C-alpha cells in the first residue's frame, strides 16, 4: 500500500468513526467471556450509528443490543477527541468509561417489526460525534458485488486494563478498540442455506456480507448496531472520503463468517414511521 493509499484509508476510517459510538448495556447478561472463554456475567457491548432524520438526531443500533434495558441502563463511548488520529494510536489518558447521554430528555424507541432501535437525542449529547444525514441522496441499498465498509466495537478486541476482586468473583475493566472491515455484498443465499443456516434472512429487508476475519479466529460480536457504508462515487475536484448510509449490522451466521445487514431503505421506513417524513 502506498503512502497516499494509507492516508486515504486513514481518512476514510476517521470519517466512519465520526458517526460511530460504542453502546454498553449495563443490564448484566450471562454468557461466555469474550477474553477468557469462560462462563460469566458481563455488560453487553454493541455499536451505534449517528444519523440525522430531518430535525431529529438519532443513535441507531440493533434492538437486541438494548435488550431489557431502559435508557438509564445504557452508556456510550466515543472517539477520544475531535482531531483526526490513528484509531489504534491511543494513550492511556484516552481510555475512559462509557457514560450516559448528556440529554435528560432523550428517548429510547424499539422497532416492532425489525431488530432495530433508536435513541432520540440532541446533537451535543455525545462529544465529537457527527450525525450523518439519512435523507436525500445520502443512502443506498447496495447490490451483490458492491463493496461496503463497517466500523464497530468488537468485544474480542477488548484489553483488560484493571482486574479486582469483588466478593467471590473477579471484576475486570475492559477497554474496547474500534475496528473496521470491508467486504463485498454476497449473492442471495440458496434455499437450503435459508432453511438450515441463514434462517432469519429476508431478501426484501436484508443483505449479507462476509466477515473474512472469522478465518483468523476473530468474532463479530459487538458489531451489532454498526452502520454499514457504501463509498459515494460522486466526482470531486478535491478527493474526500464520502459515504452513503447502507444499513445497520444485525446478526451473524456460519460461526460468525457471514453477517446480516438490514437495508438502508428499511431503516428509513422505521425512522419515517417514528418521526414522520424527513
pLDDT (tens digit per residue) in 164-195: 676 666 666 666 777 889 999 999 999 999 98
Q: What is the pLDDT of residue 127?
A: 86
- Return d(Cα 135, Cα 177) in angstroms, integer: 30
Q: What is the pLDDT of residue 53?
A: 95
Express each pLDDT in 126-175 by its tens digit. 988 999 987 778 899 999 999 999 999 888 776 666 666 766 666 666 66
pTM equals 0.85
Q: What is the pLDDT of residue 36?
A: 53
CATH: 2.20.25.190, 3.40.250.10, 2.40.10.10, 3.30.230.10. Which one for 3-275? Answer: 2.40.10.10
Mean pLDDT confidence for 77-86: 61
**What ranges do the domains of the chain cover?**
3-275
Q: What is the pLDDT of residue 166?
A: 65
Q: Is the pLDDT of residue 277 over 50?
A: yes
Q: Is the pLDDT of residue 253 over 50?
A: yes
- Which of 64-78, 93-107, 212-226, 245-259 is predicted least confidently? 93-107
Which neighbouring-strand residues pair with 248?
Answer: 227, 262
Residue 56's nearest CA partner among 119, 137, 130, 126 is 119
Strands 39-53 and 56-61: antiparallel
Query: In degrees rounded to 5, what are phi and psi of residue 101?
Result: -65, 145
- pLDDT bracket for residue 87 (50, 70, 90): very low
| Burial category of 92 from C-beta neighbours within 10 Å (exposed 0-12, middle 13-18, buried 19 and up) | exposed
Q: What is the pLDDT of residue 189?
A: 94
Q: Is the pLDDT of residue 237 over 50?
A: no
Cα angle value 116/144/277 (rounded, 5°): 40
Amino acid at each position: 500500500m502506498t503512502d497516499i493509499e494509507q492516508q486515504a484509508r486513514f481518512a476514510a476510517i476517521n470519517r466512519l468513526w465520526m458517526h460511530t459510538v460504542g453502546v454498553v448495556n449495563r443490564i448484566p447478561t450471562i454468557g461466555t467471556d469474550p477474553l477468557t472463554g469462560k462462563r460469566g456475567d458481563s455488560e453487553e457491548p454493541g455499536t451505534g450509528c449517528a444519523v440525522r432524520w430531518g430535525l431529529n438526531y438519532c443513535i441507531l443500533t440493533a434492538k437486541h443490543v438494548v435488550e431489557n434495558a431502559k435508557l438509564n441502563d445504557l452508556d456510550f463511548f466515543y472517539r477520544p477527541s475531535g482531531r483526526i488520529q490513528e484509531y489504534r494510536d491511543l494513550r492511556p489518558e484516552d481510555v475512559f468509561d462509557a457514560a450516559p447521554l448528556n440529554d435528560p430528555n432523550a428517548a429510547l424507541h424499539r422497532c416492532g417489526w425489525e431488530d432495530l432501535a433508536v435513541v432520540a437525542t440532541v446533537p451535543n449529547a455525545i462529544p465529537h460525534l457527527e450525525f450523518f444525514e439519512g435523507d436525500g441522496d445520502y443512502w443506498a441499498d447496495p447490490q451483490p458485488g458492491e463493496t461496503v465498509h463497517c466500523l464497530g466495537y468488537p468485544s474480542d478486541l477488548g484489553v483488560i486494563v484493571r482486574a479486582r476482586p469483588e466478593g467471590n468473583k473477579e471484576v475486570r475493566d475492559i477497554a474496547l478498540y474500534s475496528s473496521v472491515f470491508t467486504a463485498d455484498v454476497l449473492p442471495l443465499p440458496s434455499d437450503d442455506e435459508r432453511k438450515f443456516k441463514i434462517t432469519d434472512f429476508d431478501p426484501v429487508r436484508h443483505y449479507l456480507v462476509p466477515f473474512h476475519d472469522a478465518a483468523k479466529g476473530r468474532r463479530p460480536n459487538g458489531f451489532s448496531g454498526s452502520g454499514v457504508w457504501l463509498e459515494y462515487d460522486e466526482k470531486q475536484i478535491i478527493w474526500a472520503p464520502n459515504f452513503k448510509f447502507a444499513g445497520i449490522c444485525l446478526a451473524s451466521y456460519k460461526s460468525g463468517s457471514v453477517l446480516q445487514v438490514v437495508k438502508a431503505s428499511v431503516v428509513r421506513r422505521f425512522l419515517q414511521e417514528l418521526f414522520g417524513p424527513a
